[in-house]
Amino acid sequence: MDEVTGLLTVLPELGPIAKMLGLLSPLSLSVLALLLVFSVISWSIMIYKWWGFRKQQEHNRKFLAIYAKTHDAEQLRTIAADKEMEHSSVAVLFLRGMDGIEYRVPAVAAVSSGEGERSERFSHRADLDRLMDLAVQEESARLESFLPVLATIGSVSPFVGLFGTVLGIINAFSAIGEQASANIRTVAPGMAEALIATAAGLFAAIPAVIFYNYCLTKIRREVQTMESFSIEFLMTMASKLLKADTKTAIGSI
């Protein structure tokens, strides 16, 4: 009984909104439906990206703290590959770098044993440098996923809303022509239609644009973190690769 009473209390409050929507033309309703879809998509992306940035920052902080204290490469590899670090971009860079040392840099063992020339050792260091740069680019591309969708929604939604505004104004003038008068009762439905479309377009666009800029700032900071880690990793490993001890280079940091 209380639920029925509550429902009867809410219905009158929804009445004006339902009545206003009932005055809209089918084309204007289609515009509002499209803007609603845009808004749902953008908010879904915003929640997903916010959660991803939060987890990545948390996991990066954990891995960097462990990296600063641990010099055992195998232990660091195990930690970086753990599911608890799955959102850490620097852990991914570490794994890619270690894989490059063991598998992708040819003849490291020969060079580190003194059988190669010093110029070859610098070449191997350059190969590792390119590998780390590629890993940073791939992680940056992953961070930028779905951002084009946000940018598109942020730029297109105001124009879709403007289209609905134009439709509302056209309907207002059509009503004036039919009634041969310009009183408020004649003009109000069309103007309400125009204003609703404008508000809906802005409602879809503004959060998307704000969060898009927020994402760019977060990505810029994450890229700086990855580049700093990459430089530190390369400097550490290069000093070992230029020495005649491959096992030390691979087994310790």
Q: What is the DSSP string of 203-223?
A: HHHHHHHHHHHHHHHHHHHHH
Of 26-30, 53-57, 132-136, the least confident: 26-30
Residue 10 has pLDDT above 60, yes or no: no
Which tokens in the block code for residue 78? 């195990």
Q: What are phi and psi of 105, to 5 degrees?
A: -95, 105
pLDDT digits (tens, 9 = 90+) for 33-50: 999 999 999 999 999 999
Picking from 46, 48, 36, the residue whose alpha carbon sits closest to that of residue 211 is: 46
> Between residues 64 and 73, which one has the greater pLDDT?
64
Q: pTM of this prediction? A: 0.76
Assess contact for 135 and 93: CB atoms under 8 A. Answer: yes
Q: Look up residue 244 and give its DSSP letter.
A: T
Q: What is the pLDDT, as a whole number, of residue 161?
A: 93
Which tokens in the block code for residue 253? 């940091």
The fraction of the chain above a pLDDT of 70, given in percent, is 74
Kindly state the average pLDDT of the residues 133-152. 92
d(CA 199, CA 219): 30
d(CA 35, CA 108): 58
Q: What is the pLDDT, as a whole number, of residue 150?
A: 95
Picking from 30, 128, 66, 91, the residue whose alpha carbon sits closest to that of residue 225 is: 91
d(CA 77, CA 58): 18
Q: What is the pLDDT, as a whole number, of residue 156?
A: 96
Residue 185 has pLDDT above 70, yes or no: yes
Q: What are phi and psi of 146, to 5 degrees?
A: 75, -10
Q: In sequence order, which residues have a C-beta less than 8 Å from that of residue 124 and are 6 or more positions away?
A: 105, 106, 107, 108, 111, 241
Assess contact for 136 and 230: CB atoms under 8 A. Answer: yes
- Measure CA 85 to chain center: 19
Picking from 121, 71, 67, the residue whose alpha carbon sits closest to that of residue 245 is: 121
Q: What is the pLDDT, as a whole number, of residue 175?
A: 76
Integer CA distances (angstroms), 74 to 83, 226, 249, in order: 16, 21, 12
Assess contact for 124 and 108: CB atoms under 8 A. Answer: yes
Collapse the DSSP code of 105 into the 3-class scheme (helix H, G, I; strand E, B; otherwise coil) and give the result: coil
Residue 245 has pLDDT above 80, yes or no: no
Amino acid code (one letter) for 116? G
